[in-house]
Amino acid sequence: MTLTIRSAEERDLPRLIEIYNHYVETTAITFDTERYDIESRKPWLAQFASNGPHRLFVAERSGVVLGYAGTTSFRPKRAYDTTVEVTVYCAPDATGQGVGNALFGVLWKALEREDLRCATAGITLPNEPSIKLHERFGFRLSGVMHDVGRKLGRYWDVAWYEKRLG
C-alpha cells in the first residue's frame, strides 16, 4: 500500500497526540512528562503553516497517520530566525518501515527555497534509529549534553545534531 505524505491538518490532531503521548508515557525520547489532549496541543499545531520555515507533514497509509515530521523555531530571539529545530515521530507499529525517511524527504524538499541556514535536532541517548535517520539526511553531531533530562527514574543525555541548509 502506498504511503502518502501531506501537510498536517487540524483533523490529524487526535492521531498526532496519540502517537506523541505513547512516547511521553513510555520513553525518554521526549522529556515531556504529561499527556496532551486536544486543547493543550492546539497552540503547538497553530505554529505550522503551508509555506515558510515552520512546516508539519504527516505520513499516512490507507487513511491512517503513521507519523509526522516538522520544523519549529529554534529560539525566540530574532537572530535565530534562519535556524529551525526538527522533530519526527512514528507510530510504534510503523517504525522501521521507511516512514521517517519519507517524511524527511518531503520536509527537506519543501524547505529548499526558505531563508534557512541551519537545522538542529536534539536526540535523547540512546536512540540509534533516530541518529541514523538524521545522519542519512546530512545531520552531524555537534555535541552531547550530559544528564540534562530526568525521566523514568534516571538522567538522560541529549546529543545535538545540526544540518547546514541553503
CATH assignment of the domain containing 137? 3.40.630.30
By CB neighbour count within 10 A (0-12 exposed, 13-18 middle, 19+ buried), where does 54 fall? middle
pTM of the model as a whole: 0.95
31-62: pLDDT as tens digits: 999 999 999 999 999 999 999 999 999 999 99
pLDDT at 29: 96
The structural domain count of the chain equals 1
Tell me if the bond preceding 126 is cis, omega within 30° of 0. Answer: yes
Cα gap 65→72, rounded to integer Å:
20
12, 47 Cβ separation under 8 angstroms: no
Position 79: which residue type? A
Return the exposure string of 91-128: e unless at least 16 CB atoms fall within 10 Å of the residue's CB, then b: beebeebebbebbbbbbbebbeebebebbbbbbbeebe
For Cα atoms 157, 31, 43, give the angle at the middle one, nearest 5 degrees. Answer: 140
Report the distance separating Cα 130 and Cα 118, nearest Å.
18
Task: Evaluate whether 53 touches 110 at the Cβ level (below 8 Å).
Answer: no
Domain range enclosing 14: 4-164
- 115 with 137: CB under 8 angstroms? no
**Could you tell me if 73 and 80 are in contact, meaning their C-beta atoms sit under 8 angstroms apart?**
yes
**pLDDT reading at 1 higher than 80:** no
Q: Which residues pair with 156 in a beta bridge?
A: 149
H helix count then E strand count, the chain: 4, 7
The string of pLDDT tens digits covering residues 104-132 is 999 999 999 999 999 999 999 999 999 99
